[in-house]
Amino acid sequence: MLTKRIIPCLDIKNGRTVKGINFKNLKDAGDPIKLVCWYTKQGADELIFLDITATNEKRKTLISLVKSISSHINIPFTVGGGIQKEKDVELLLNAGADKISINTAAVKKPNLLERLSKRFGSQCIVLAIDTKYENNEWWVYLNGGRISTNIKTLDWAREASSRGVGEILLTSMNHDGTKSGFALDITRNISENVSIPVIASGGAGKLEDFYKIFQIGKADAALAASIFHYREIEIPKLKNYLNNFHIPMRK
Amino acid sequence: MKTIIIKYPAGNVQSVLFSLERIGIKAKVTDSKESIKNAEKIILPGVGEAHFAMKYLKERKLDILLSELEQPVLGICLGMQLLCKHSEESDTTCIGIFDLLVKKFQSKDKKNKIPQIGWNNIHNLKGPLFKNIPDGSYQYFVHSYYAPLGQYTTAKTEYILSYSAALQKKNFYAVQFHPEKSSYVGHKILENFIKLND
């Protein structure tokens, strides 16, 4: 049976992990490779790396980091942040990334999604959507949540799905960082209205939040950063908890 | 060079290379016919789009070369589908080692997502590739197309329906999942492939 996935997310800046640094056994917690090995042993199902440097001259650092991650990791990982064009994707996949996630550039040039999925296969193209609930509607935001649009989140998810993306990474800006639980309604709405998997992100605080996002929010995967980095929730314990509630987990 | 990974325009060559390194195998990535012919083991890796990948192989006549090989060949994911007869993906004629038509998953409701992405069990394991691999082991899958069950099926997986997670015909081996991304069990499967005929 296909299991639900637990995905830690690491923010990368200039080749180093930015937040999340409270590991007893790690001498250098800014070293992404050490975190990668630790999460692999913990039973993470996948990892996502978001490069928040995203300036052109620093992209080479990212490519060499991706190569290094790929040489150490034996589970899948996605790389996102600042992807503009086909060439960026090619370099990341050739460096060993399994999937790439694309956000702002896809909204600006939706045709890019067709080109990428045609060339590299749908399964390695993840559409990241930052969404915010305002005036009774969920809206798409760009540039890491700094720029609003008049695009409704469900419309964009449907369009991107028909343009060939393989997965949606949905982050609720209203919930991100609050530790008050995931955005159940919009996640469920997207999940029930597109045919591709949805990764829910933003708001994870306690074990129960994960149960709810799978059971009520119908997410296929759940992403979290700080609660894993600061070891407020440990993945083996989380997976046991979910298994006890009949959410299928890889152990 | 003993082990060759076929060079591809849209493959996850690097991750296969690294996973082989972790089990102590130094492989070479190439599309040179000479190197492929002389290799002991050949891996046809697998992320990408069927038509684009077949076009690349055909332009170099690697499709013919591959079908004539007598040493062990392992197709992974898309590589497995290319070893079948035909794929619904862009209506592509494939290499045809396995007499199977690769089809797209059809979900009646939105309950089953397409592509299937994630960890799923493999069952009814047969043949040397699965030596010492427990039935029900989890492997990582990412795919929208599948090869149906047939006489060459050596592992089954359930998603929407029961399909071939692995195939084998003589020296041709194929897996739909990604052993290079499937943690320690996946690496064991790769190791089994590398140790064939030893």
**Are B10 and A120 an interchain contact pair (Cβ–Cβ within 8 Å)?**
yes
Q: How confident is the model at residue A29 (pLDDT cuts 50, 70, 90)?
A: low
| Catalytic residue ranges of A | 11, 130
pLDDT at position A57 over 70 = no
pLDDT for the residue numbered A52: 78
Q: Domain locations in chain A? A: 5-244
Residue B79 C-alpha, separation from nearest chain A C-alpha, in angstroms: 13
pLDDT at position A112 over 50 = yes
Q: How confident is the model at residue B42 (pLDDT cuts 50, 70, 90)?
A: very high
Q: What's the CATH code of the domain at B153? A: 3.40.50.880
pLDDT for the residue numbered A22: 43
**Are A74 and B47 an interchain contact pair (Cβ–Cβ within 8 Å)?**
no
What rounded mean pLDDT belongs to chain A? Answer: 90
pLDDT for the residue numbered A100: 95
Query: Please, which residues 82-101 of chain B have a Cβ atom closer than 8 Å to chain A?
Result: none
Q: How confident is the model at residue B48 (pLDDT cuts 50, 70, 90)?
A: confident
Q: Which of B14, B19, B119 sits opposite A74 (nearest CB)?
A: B19
Q: Rounded to whole angstroms, how far apart are CA atoms B106 and B89?
A: 13
pLDDT for the residue numbered B30: 92
**Are B49 and A195 an interchain contact pair (Cβ–Cβ within 8 Å)?**
no
Residue range B97-106: mean pLDDT, rounded? 97
pLDDT at position B37 over 50 = yes
What residues of chain B lie within 8 A of the CB of A45, using their CB? 118-119
Share of chain A above pLDDT 90, in %: 71
Q: Which of B12, B21, B180 sits opposite A93 (nearest CB)?
A: B12
| Domains held by chain B: number | 1
Nearest to B86 by CA among B102, B63, B68: B102
Q: Which of A127-136, A143-152, B31-40, B47-56 has the lowest mean pLDDT?
A: B47-56
Q: Which of A75, A119, A250 sits opposite B49 (nearest CB)?
A: A119
The whole domain housing B69 covers: 3-194
Q: Rounded to whole angstroms, how far apart are CA atoms A30 and A32?
A: 6
The CATH fold of domain A5-244: TIM Barrel (3.20.20)
Catalytic-residue membership of B84: no
Q: How confident is the model at residue A23 (pLDDT cuts 50, 70, 90)?
A: very low
pLDDT at position B58 over 70 = yes
pLDDT at position B163 over 70 = yes
**Are A123 and B143 an interchain contact pair (Cβ–Cβ within 8 Å)?**
yes
Residue B54 C-alpha, separation from nearest chain A C-alpha, in angstroms: 12
Complex ipTM = 0.90
